[in-house]
Amino acid sequence: MKTQMSKQKVFISGDEAVALGVRLARPHVISAYPITPQTIVVERLSEMVEDGSLKARYIHVESEHSAMSAAMGASAVGARAFTATSSQGLLYMAEGMHYASGGRMPIVMMNANRSLALPWSIFGDHRDSLSMLDSGWIQVYVEDAQEALDMTIQAFRIAEDAAVLTPFMINLDGFILTHTYEIVDIPDQSKVDSFLPVFKTPNKMSLEKPKSMGFSTSPADNMEFKYQQHKAMLDAKDIIHSVDKEFGKTFGRSYGGMIDSYNCEDADYVLVTAGSVTGTARIAVDNLRSRGIKAGLVKLRYLRPFPDEEVRAAAGDVKAIGVLDKDISFGYEGTIFTNVNSALAHLSIRPVSINFIAGLGGRDISIKDIEGIYHDLEEAVTVGKDKSFAKVRYVNMGVEIDG
C-alpha cells in the first residue's frame, strides 16, 4: 500500500518552514517588521509566541532598522536572536548589519529575496542580498522548503560557533520558495535540542560584567578587528562542512556544505546557480544528458564565505561555465559571475565563462531557457575560438550589450 501517514511530514510553504525551523531552534528574542514576501514568517512566529508553543520574546518594532538594533541588543546580552526581512527592508537594516558583524553577534536572519525599487516590485531576484555581500554576514541560498527549515537550524549552530561568531543570512527566493507549498519533514525537537545546544557567548554584556559592545578604534588597531572578522568568515567554511555532515548523521539530510554539484564529474558544460532556479536547472541537465550532451550543474549554496576552491574543483576543467545571475551590478556584470571568475582566475588554463542575467523582478526562467544557456555554452566553445562572443547575456530579452 502506498499510503504513508507520518506526523512528522507536513505540506507547508517556504515561509512556514522557516518559522517552524526557528521554533525548533528556540530563540529568546524575535524582532521583526513585516514585508512581502517575508510576512508569513513573522506572522507565524508571533502566533507561536502568543499560543505559548514558542517561549520567546516577540518584539514588533516600528522599522527594519529597529528590528536589527533590537536583535543586536538581545545578542549582546547572550540571547539567541532571530529576525527576517526582504528587499527595501534589508537595505533599511544595512547600517545595523555592519554593526552586528563587526560586533561578532551571531544573529540569524531570513531574507525573502525580492527586487529593489525603482521600479517598485514585490517579485523575486537576488539584488537585495547581493548588494549586502560585503556586510560581513554569512549568506546561504536554499533550493526548497526542506532546505530552508534545515538551514534555519544549521544557521544558529554555525553562527554561534566560537570560531565563527558571525551573523547569518538565509536567503529564500521570494514567492518561488516563500509562497510555494511542498512536503517538509519536521525534525524531532529533542534531536534539535542536542544538535543545537543553548547559546553561550564569550562576549556577554551583563549587569555583573558591564562592558561596551559599541567600541571605537584608532588607526592603530582597526585593521586587526577587520582581519579577525575576515578570518572568522574564512574559518566558517570548515564549520559549515562539519555542521552539515553532523546534521546529515542526525537528521538524514545533508546538502554538500559550500556547494552542491550535480553531474559535474565528466561534464563539458557547467551552469552555476544559486537558490531555487537550481531545481529547474536539474531537469534541464537531465534532458540534455538524455540527448548525449555532457551537462553539469554547480549550486552555490554559500556566497559568503565564497566557495572558490569548491568551484575550481567541481568545474575547473570543463570546456565552458555559465553563471546564472538574478542580478546586475550596474556598469559591470552579474555579481556572482564576478565572484566565479575570480575563483577561476587562479587556474592556469581557464574554461570559457559566460554570464546569463535572468529572472530579474520575478521573470520566469523555464527549462527551455536553461537548455538554451547550455547550447550557448556549447556554441561559444566551438565558434568562440575564432570569433569574440558576448560574455554577458540577457535571458528572455532579445538584446546584447558587449560582444
Chain contacts with another protein (rule: CB under 8 A): 2-5, 9-11, 122-123, 143-144, 173, 175-177, 179-183, 276-280, 282-283, 362, 364-367
**β-strand 29-32 against 295-300: which pairing, if any?**
unpaired
Rounded least distance, CB 281 to another protein, Å: 9
- Closest contact distance (angstroms) between CB of 384 and another protein is 28
Q: Please tell me the distance from the alpha carbon of residue 196 to that of residue 208, in angstroms, as a whole number.
A: 27
Q: Which three cell numbers stand for residue 357?
A: 542575467
Residue 149 has which C-alpha cell?
Answer: 527549515
Q: E strands along 129-179, which residues?
A: 138-141, 168-173
CA distance 197 to 195: 6
CB of residue 177 to another protein, shortest distance in Å: 8
For another protein, the closer of residues 20 and 97 by Cβ is 20
Identity of the residue, 352 or 367, whose beta carbon is nearer to another protein in the bound complex: 367
> Based on CB atoms, which residue is closest to another protein, 82 or 175?
175
Nearer to another protein, 193 or 364 (CB): 364
C-alpha cell, 95:
547600517
Nearer to another protein, 277 or 315 (CB): 277
Amino acid identity at 227: Y
Q: Which of 350, 339, 272 lies closest to 305, judged by CA? A: 339
Name the minimum Å distance from CB 241 to another protein. Answer: 24
Cβ proximity to another protein: between 152 and 278 the closer is 278
User: Buried b vs exposed e over 361-387: b needs ≥16 C-beta within 10 Å?
Assistant: bbeebeeebbbbbbebbbebbeeeeee
Please state the closest distance from residue 86 (CB atom) to another protein, in A: 14
Say whether 393 sits in a helix, a strand or coil. Answer: strand
- Per the structure block, which three cell numbers stand in for 220? 592603530
Shortest Å distance, C-beta 297 to another protein: 11
For the chain, the helix, strand and coil percentages under 3-state DSSP, each to the nearest 5 = 40, 20, 40
- Judged by beta carbon, residue 73 or residue 361, the one nearer another protein is 361
Q: How far is the CB of 5 from another protein (least distance, A)?
A: 7
Quick one: 164 or 324, whose CB is closer to another protein?
324
In the complex, least distance from residue 10 CB atom to another protein, rounded to whole angstroms: 7
DSSP-derived secondary structure for 322-381 = EEEES---TTS--HHHHHHHHHHTTSSS--EEEEEE--GGG----HHHHHHHHHHHHHHH
